[in-house]
Amino acid sequence: MLPVLSEALRQGREAYREFGRGALLVLDAEEEPTYGAAEDLIERLSKEPDAKSLLASVIYATGSYDPLKEAVTVTVFQDSFLVHIIRANGAELVGGVGFVALQ
């Protein structure tokens, strides 16, 4: 279940307290939100040749957000990923990647 903005910000602050700057919140419509260190996700993405735009979005977002007022989210959908910087007054789409099934 995807949280509302205020809940995403609260969870982002929890992630910051635990992991420091560069924490992010992973949102999946099918599962409970999780959070962790961006370095872990960056390390995994850097090994995936098809994830360069997602990797760039995560690096940009976690390097430029204000952890005291904002949260970085990676939203997981069945066929895509979106990276946002969440603020109390809305969200900024930083980037994402989608997948198309080839037949």
Inter-residue contact 63 to 4 (CB < 8 Å): no
Q: What percent of the chain has pLDDT over 70?
A: 90
Q: How far apart are CA 32 and CA 54, in angstroms?
A: 21
How far is the C-alpha of 72 from the C-alpha of 12, rounded, in Å? 7
Mean per-residue pLDDT of the chain: 79
Q: What is the mean pLDDT of residues 63-87?
A: 84
Structure confidence at residue 1 as a pLDDT band (50, 70, 90): very low
**Predicted confidence (pLDDT) at residue 101 exceeds the cutoff of 70:** no
Angle at the Cα of 45 (from 23 to 96), degrees rounded to 5?
A: 75
Q: Please, what sign has the CA dihedral across residues 29, 26, 86, 51?
A: negative
pLDDT tens per residue across span 31-70: 777 888 888 878 887 887 777 888 888 888 888 888 888 8
